[in-house]
Structure 1
């Protein structure tokens, strides 16, 4: 990256002067958050630049690509962890563009299921392939061994978080 590019100070960097061992859990969480934010910002930028689309649109198409029978708006909302209103507006725009279609549910005609159109499948396949290569590029500085170790450690961290949530109100 050029030296003249502005880099905002993230929360992790702000704690850089904290003595080792001090607030280790907080420092770990901030490192995870910083990595996530850096990757997500770059993916958002590349989706916008290369496909003139957004991450929420990509995510909705990804959910539909995984569900051969389609999904209701409520199912999409739960999977994406967003409100129904967000999904409704997004689905309407994608339908207007010919990327998704609404069809009655075979078991309950009152329910509409959203599915990818042929064009939607083609567009998503291109975006998905690019997304996969971007992630590989961004994490390419890690060796196979480092990626495996990090994956295992993050699995343990995920289990720790779930265990902590079990005792939460």
Structure 2
């Protein structure tokens, strides 16, 4: 293994550590401040971006999770009155899901705090740091794909 290869491996391990630490902090924030989970937040964020609603298959693809996982989260959101399922064109096999007005308001309140928490996590990074990291990660992402 070359020295450069070892350095790349160490970078990968560091990136995983930073990602896990940030994700754990966000999970804790959402649980503590909004009595919710990161998967619920992610589903609500996806539905907030697509106000017209999406099919369950589209939702699963957007979140990179199984239909079963997306369905379980949707079941709970629907039970809490934050999301709803609607038959598409009277066809009960095609269902669109979307946030309710209560769900939109709840998500928007959570999103403000979520953004502040992410801002605090990365507060030591300057604008130049962010631009550099974004460019580096974009190159790395193209190579990984």
Q: Give TM class, smaller chain.
A: over 0.9
TM normalised by structure 1 equals: 0.80
Give the secondary-structure state (helix, strand or coil) at the position aligned to 1:101: strand
Structure 2 vs 1, CA of residues 64 and 49 (structure 1 numbering), >3 Å: closer, same or farther?
same
Q: Does 1:52 align with 2:35?
A: yes
User: Aligned-pair RMSD on alpha carbons?
Assistant: 1.5
Could you list the structure 1 runs, at least 4 aligned residues long, displaced by more than 3 angstroms after superposition: 106-110
TM normalised by structure 2 equals: 0.92
Bigger RCO (CA 8 Å, 6+ sep):
2
Unaligned runs of 5+ in 1: 1-19, 163-169
Unaligned runs of 5+ in 2: none
As a proportion of its length, which structure holds more helix?
A: 2
1:4-33 CA deviation, whole Å, 9 max, x = no partner? xxxxxxxxxxxxxxxx64611211111111
- Which residue, 60, 65, 68 being the options, matches 1:85? 68
Q: Could you tell me how far 1:136 is from its partner in structure 2?
A: 0.9
Give the secondary-structure state (helix, strand or coil) at the position aligned to 1:102: strand
Paired position in structure 2 for 1:138: 121
Q: Could you tell me how far 1:132 is from its partner in structure 2?
A: 0.8
- Which residue, 160, 163, 167 being the options, matches 2:143? 160
